[in-house]
């Protein structure tokens, strides 16, 4: 015998709520309502029973996010003891608030982690672009960055973003300042050597030109003087 199925319009009449309310509860409570070949919702007696409990709990002051914590129990054959749950509704609502805050903090920590990793990656790339020939220093820098991120991941997720940002910012700024100074010293040495080389070549050319000019001048013969004997 086929089980009775209800379209959303019929289910809303049976539960005495608007269809959009059922859609909202379905989304917020992560309910998986079966659908027919046309993609329309088809509520079974099981879903109707669960939604009846949801309605009763909500009408008596239990928040929807607190009801979400009870969904596994609501789907059981006997459901939940509504009166027993409502007797501790304040505790359930408080627990739901804490769960919600925890989820938000974890999501925030995850986003901060992603931003920090992107910042760290960009910093490594930018540092590599203006410092050439410093492979050993860059390897050390990469190891420092990896260690910072690994240590930060062990910390409490709530403080993840702040912890990584503070460590990365301080280490990165120090490393960038060091690399700038290294580059300036290398550039200064290179320019000194280049200037010295240019001066030596100019001096060599002047000496060569002087020697060539001297070799072209005719040698003056010395006049012999004859002294007459007295």
Residue 160 and residue 112 in contact, taking contact as beta carbons nearer than 8 Å:
yes
Indicate the average pLDDT of the chain: 78
In this prediction, residues 188-198 reach a mean pLDDT of: 83
Between CA 153 and CA 72 the distance in angstroms is 32
Which pTM value belongs to this model? 0.45
In this prediction, residues 178-189 reach a mean pLDDT of: 81
Surface-to-core class of residue 66, CB atoms within 10 Å of its CB (0-12 exposed, 13-18 middle, 19+ buried) = buried
Angle at which helices 19-28 and 45-59 cross, to 10°: 90
List the structure tokens of 137. 């220093």
Confidence (pLDDT) at 31:
93
Confidence (pLDDT) at 226:
46
Q: What pLDDT digit, counting tens, does each position of 123-170 carry?
A: 545 555 554 555 666 677 777 777 776 666 665 554 555 655 566 567
List the structure tokens of 26. 């379905």
Neighbouring C-alpha atoms within 13 Å toward the C-beta of 42: 10
């Amino acid at each position: 015998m086929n089980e009775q199925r209800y379209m959303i319009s019929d289910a809303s009449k049976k539960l005495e709520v608007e269809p959009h309310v059922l859609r909202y509860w379905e989304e917020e409570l992560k309910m998986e309502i079966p659908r027919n070949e046309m993609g329309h919702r088809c509520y079974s007696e099981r879903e109707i029973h669960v939604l009846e409990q949801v309605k009763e709990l909500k009408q008596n002051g239990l928040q929807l996010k607190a009801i979400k914590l009870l969904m596994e129990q609501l789907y059981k054959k006997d459901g939940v003891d509504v009166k027993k749950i409502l007797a501790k509704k304040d505790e359930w609502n408080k627990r739901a608030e804490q769960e919600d805050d925890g989820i938000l903090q974890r999501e925030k920590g995850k986003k901060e982690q992603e931003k920090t990793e992107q910042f760290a990656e960009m910093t490594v790339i930018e540092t590599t672009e203006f410092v050439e020939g410093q492979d050993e220093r860059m390897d050390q820098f990469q190891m420092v960055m990896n260690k910072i991120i690994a240590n930060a991941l062990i910390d409490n997720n709530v403080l993840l973003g702040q912890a990584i940002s503070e460590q990365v910012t301080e280490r990165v700024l120090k490393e960038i300042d060091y690399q700038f100074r290294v580059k300036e010293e290398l550039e200064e040495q290179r320019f000194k050597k280049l200037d010295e080389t240019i001066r030596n070549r100019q001096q060599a050319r002047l000496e060569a030109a002087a020697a060539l000019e001297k070799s072209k001048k005719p040698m003056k013969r010395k006049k012999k003087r004859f002294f007459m004997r007295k």
